């Protein structure tokens, strides 16, 4: 079986490679080799590889920048998804696309199911919703949230750096969601493919946290592992105290029951995966 991973140098792209099942032949491409907004280049790659599975792990993820550059965000997060889906469909390949909790407005009081009405608050969320719609009814579409990994730019690595440089860090405490360890998300995607799944699903780690809770846990685990020499003061703040160009959902916990019915579950708690990542950073840097 051949799999083409688009966005192969990102957190999820790397994780898809490291968790690929035995017997899968991987073909990996990133933005430096493929501009997914160009249908001719997308079709050229698909025709050359002829994959059985096409994973789209590429995205425009600069949430605040997208408010001033929605056209570019839409080209990558929306239109290009349709191009990839069409190319996969033309050769009979499965198409797997990853979306976001930002398609919701955060007003719910209980976890969002895949069928819950979408109402994005930001340009990023709007463009990702267009991508879901263009992925097609035969695709596997998985919404996730707060993704982090041992490599790349993410909240965990940023917090570890800031906590080593500053005596105090201020972190939003009124946005609630669930962190997601990229290798666990990748494993879930491979298992959905193996199960011949189709349609819209949710996947994050288990548990719930605010960004403040997450930061406190990062410091605790970083201290325990010896990555931080001393504790910084972690100060909870409100979203209003740290205004950003893009509006973010205040509550974006996702209901994963549909996913777990297929691949088994629940997922490990986010704190367990955080500890696993901290250990990997300690070993590999």
Burial of residue 171 (CB within 10 Å: 0-12, 13-18, 19+) is buried
Residues 222 and 51: their CA atoms lie apart, in Å, by 41
Is there a contact between 101 and 143 (Cβ–Cβ < 8 Å)? yes
Residue 144 φ/ψ, nearest 5 degrees: -140, -175
Query: Is there a catalytic annotation at residue 201?
Result: no
Q: Residue 282: which residues within 8 A CB-CB, separation 6 or more?
A: 225, 226, 227
- Which of 60, 112, 124, 212 is flagged as catalytic? 124
Q: Which helix (H) or strand (E) holds 71?
A: helix 70-74
The per-residue b/e assignment along 233-252, b for 16 or more CB within 10 angstroms, e otherwise, is ebebeeeeeeeeebbbbbbb
Residue 236 φ/ψ, nearest 5 degrees: -75, 135
Is there a contact between 90 and 42 (Cβ–Cβ < 8 Å)? no
Tokens 């997601």, residue located: 180
**Nearest of 78, 75, 174, 83 to residue 132 by alpha carbon:** 78
Name the residues annotated as catalytic: 124
């Amino acid at each position: 079986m051949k799999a083409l991973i688009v966005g192969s140098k990102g957190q999820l792209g790397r994780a898809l490679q490291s968790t690929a099942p035995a017997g899968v032949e991987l073909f990996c491409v990133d933005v430096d080799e493929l501009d997914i907004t160009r249908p001719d280049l997308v079709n050229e790659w698909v025709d050359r590889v002829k994959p059985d599975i096409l994973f789209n792990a590429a995205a425009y993820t600069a949430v605040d920048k997208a408010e001033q550059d929605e056209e570019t965000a839409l080209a990558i997060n929306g239109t290009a998804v349709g191009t990839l889906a069409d190319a996969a469909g033309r050769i009979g390949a499965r198409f797997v696309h990853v979306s976001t909790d930002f398609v919701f407005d955060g007003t719910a009081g209980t976890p969002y199911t895949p069928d819950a009405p979408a109402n994005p608050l930001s340009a990023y969320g709007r463009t990702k919703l267009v991508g879901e719609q263009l992925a097609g009814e035969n695709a596997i579409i998985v919404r996730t949230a707060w993704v982090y990994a041992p490599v790349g730019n993410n909240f965990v690595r940023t917090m570890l750096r800031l906590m080593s440089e500053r005596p105090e860090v201020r972190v939003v405490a009124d946005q609630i969601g669930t962190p997601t360890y990229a290798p666990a998300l990748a494993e879930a995607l491979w298992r959905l493919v193996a199960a011949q799944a189709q349609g819209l699903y949710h996947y994050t780690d288990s548990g719930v946290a605010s960004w403040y809770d997450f930061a406190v846990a990062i410091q605790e685990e970083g201290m325990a592992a010896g990555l931080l020499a001393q504790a910084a003061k972690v100060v909870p703040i409100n979203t209003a105290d740290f205004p950003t160009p893009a509006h973010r959902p205040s509550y974006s916990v996702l209901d994963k029951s549909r996913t777990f019915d297929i691949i088994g579950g629940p997922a490990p708690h986010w704190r367990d995966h955080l500890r696993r990542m901290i250990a990997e950073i300690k070993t590999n840097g």
